[in-house]
Homo-oligomer: A and B are copies of this chain.
Amino acid sequence: MYAKTEDFDLELQDLAQAAKLFSHPARLAIIRLLAARNTCISGDIANELPLSRATVCQHLQELKNARLIRGEISGLNVNYCLNVEKWSAIKKQFEALFDMEIQDVNCICIN
């Protein structure tokens, strides 16, 4: 986090951090995969993405640190799944953003 980020409302910091999770197509692809399937082995995820195993792992860790996904060791494999509670919480945050009332603009604003 850049230093100045702390100078904003916590609510905005929080939402910005959630948005960052969605700001890379690999992470969106992972989320989509985990939503679509209920089996979710790390290696399978890596095989479906056009990235190296190491890079996919990094994205998985980011989502895991944010508690949006969870991983469970099962022998040699690791099963990942969405944390639906966190998913719902983020969904609510974005709903609040988009439900925000918008005043009529008073500029013509061509450009």
Contact = CB atoms under 8 A, between A and B. Distances in A.
Interface of A: 4-5, 7-9, 12-13, 15-17, 19-29, 32, 35-40, 50-51, 70-72, 74, 79-84, 87, 91, 94-95, 97-98, 100-111
Contacts of A19: 19-23
A91 B28 CA distance: 16
A70 B108 CA distance: 9
Chain multiplicity (copies)? 2
Contacts of A94: 94, 98
A104 to B, nearest CB: 6
Contacts of A97: 22, 28
Given A70-B111, A72-B110, A105 B8 contact: no
B110 A70 contact: yes
A100 B35 contact: yes
Contacts of A23: 16-17, 19-20, 23
A35 to B, nearest CB: 5
Given A20-B23, A105-B84, A15 B37 contact: no
